[in-house]
Structure 1
Amino acid sequence: MMRILLFLGTNIAVLLVASLTLRLLGVESYLNAQGINFTGLLIFCFIFGMAGSMISLFISKWMAKRSTGTVIIETPSNSTEKWLLDTVAELAHEAGIKTPEVGIFPAQQSNAFATGWNKDDALVAVSAGLLNRMRPEEVRAVLAHEIGHVANGDMVTLALIQGVVNTFVMFFARVVAHLVDSFLKSRSGGEGGLGFIGYFAVVIVAEIVFGILASAIVAWFSRFREYRADEAGARLAGTGAMVNALARLKSETELPDQMPDTLRAMAITKGQTRSLIEQLFASHPPLDDRIRALKEAAYRQ
């Protein structure tokens, strides 16, 4: 539950910062003075809504390295590192993308992630625990899953979706505040209204409500792309290896999750989800569902 609250809090905080920026720059005052201009408001919300997502996307590799302590393999120092580089290069070639940077981060939980602002400037990293406990064919399947994320352009798509939902959250919050203000003025003969503080308070409350709904949409897409990455991993490394890798990850779901919240959506696993709320805002589907989907796809072929 704490992770969900942090996830929602982070998204809402971004919206509130953007709202405060609009207020400080005088954008809202200008639009209100002109009588609400829906086209102009939507344009401004789009600019500010997309800005945060695009900035996060462009600095994603830098943030990932710092937050996880990932060490990039420039020159392999042992046979494991050489195998990692060769395997990622092979999988990237099969997927038709440029070979990503490859790194290892010091977490004992078996995990991996991919990030980067485009297909040809990506990073794929695995945890030390994954290398220590998984068989080579299972590690290869995990790497194939992450290469699938890169080849599918999932990082860019997720950033765009986040930017779009941010845009509409900011837009509709201000429309709601405008309607409330207009209603109060009509009830008082044009003398009342929300005023400066009241208007901003309504905007904040509306953004919190709409932001929670928007977070559920973003989480849904994140779960959807995990199935696609699993399919890519199965194509590149074999269905059996991909299923075995997910089953191995499932056996470790009770271990502490050491992945930073900012990268959890990019990781191959987030553990099991139990409550309805957790399922609604989870970035990953349950591992049992992912394994079942792979087996059913293999059966249909």
Structure 2
Amino acid sequence: MLRIGLFLLTNLAVLVLVGIIFNLLGIQGILDANGVDLNLPGLLLLCAIFGFGGAFISLLLSKTIARTTTRTRVIEQPQTADEQWLVDTVRELSKKAGIGMPEVGIFPMPQANAFATGWNRNSALVAVSAGLLQRFNRDEARAVIGHEIGHVANGDMVTLALIQGVLNTFVMFLARLVGFFVDRVVLRNEQGLGIGYFVTSIAMDILFGFFAMMVVAWFSRRREYRADTAGAGLASRGAMISALTHLRTEAEAGREQPLPSNMKAFGIFGNMGALMASHPPLEDRIAALQK
């Protein structure tokens, strides 16, 4: 129910905000004055359909994409003591978090990392790298798994899909609005949609998409703190701090390797840039837990 409510409120916020922008900037009046026949509500609806549709298709395919891009092997029947421990730990922490048992997998990355994804909290995939199982002690690995299960329990995958849907809508809508303006008002084209519209729309898709990525990255950084708190609650605060400290040591030694770009936001460890970083600096995450 909370997720449905968030979805409806998000769409309402889009409609309200677009209306405010048009009124403040007078865009509708400029277009009308220049004889532009542009159905703004219809354009917005179309962009929302494609924007949210693309985001939720990606969400529904997230497990398949994750397994393919990371070469994750889902554990059907544990073959080793490590695999048995991993499955048992995921089962224990999932029950503690109140979610359905996720699929459990291992991906062949020598560096330490892990991720969780899936279209809902009762049909998720939790996977860890071979390197994490090899070099992290059981308490640290358990905390990392708790962090990923925290993402699932908090509904982060769905939340990010909603955010991405909103941003997709704005990017497509505003890009085409600017394209119409340039084509009809600046270039004075009156013969349908001209080259000015198509070139400008594509350029604005790229420009606005870049800023949208910053917004998604900001939300991603915020939810990492919540997932760290969940990992501390499911395992222990000391184990979560130890796991993050171990990750920082590996990063300083140059042994880190982020997940593929389409999976960075779902891992325990991500890129360390500034505005485009999917994860906060490890120092900040450790300090937040210590407080």
**Structure-1-length-normalised TM-score:** 0.81
User: Are 1:255 and 2:266 an aligned pair?
Assistant: no
Match of 1:90 in 2: 92
Out of 262, 274, 280, the position equivalent to 1:279 is: 274
- Write the distance in 1 (CA, Å) between the matches of 2:233 and 2:144: 12
Q: Which runs of 5+ in 2 are unaligned?
A: 1-34
- Write the distance in 1 (CA, Å) between the matches of 2:250 and 2:121: 30
- Write the distance in 2 (CA, Å) between the matches of 1:236 and 1:195: 57
> How big is each residue's C-alpha offset from its partner over 1:116-143, in whole Å with a ceiling of 9 and x where there is no partner?
0000110000001000000100000000
Out of 220, 223, 230, the position equivalent to 1:222 is: 220
8 A contact 1:182–1:193 mirrored in 2? no
Match of 2:20 in 1: none
Shift of residue 179 of structure 1? 2.5
Shift of residue 202 of structure 1? 1.1
1:168-179 equivalent positions in 2, closer than 5 A: 168-179=170-181
What percentage of residue pairs aligned between the two structures are identical?
55
Match of 2:264 in 1: 264
Out of 177, 183, 186, the position equivalent to 1:184 is: 186
User: Are 1:115 and 2:117 an aligned pair?
Assistant: yes
SS in structure 2 at match of 1:98: coil
Match of 1:24 in 2: none
8 A contact 1:101–1:123 mirrored in 2? yes
> How big is each residue's C-alpha offset from its partner over 1:199-241, in whole Å with a ceiling of 9 and x where there is no partner?
1111111222111111110110011111110010011111100
2:275 counterpart letter in structure 1: L
Shift of residue 256 of structure 1? 4.9
Match of 1:288 in 2: 283
Shift of residue 183 of structure 1? 2.7
**Structure-2-length-normalised TM-score:** 0.83
Shift of residue 41 of structure 1? 0.4
- Write the distance in 2 (CA, Å) between the matches of 1:256 and 1:97: 30
> How big is each residue's C-alpha offset from its partner over 1:133-174, in whole Å with a ceiling of 9 and x where there is no partner?
001000000000000000011111111111110101111112
What is the aligned residue count? 255
8 A contact 2:220–2:278 mirrored in 1? yes
- Write the distance in 2 (CA, Å) between the matches of 1:210 and 1:239: 39
- Write the distance in 2 (CA, Å) between the matches of 1:246 and 1:225: 16
8 A contact 1:137–1:241 mirrored in 2? yes
1:69-218 equivalent positions in 2, closer than 5 A: 69-184=71-186, 196-218=194-216
Shift of residue 68 of structure 1? 1.1
Match of 1:51 in 2: 53
**Quick one: structure 1 residues 256 and 290, their matched pair in 2 at CA, closer, same or farther if it must change by over 3 Å?**
closer
How big is the alpha-carbon RMSD for the aligned residues of Structure 1 and Structure 2? 1.8
**Quick one: structure 1 residues 48 and 195, their matched pair in 2 at CA, closer, same or farther if it must change by over 3 Å?**
closer
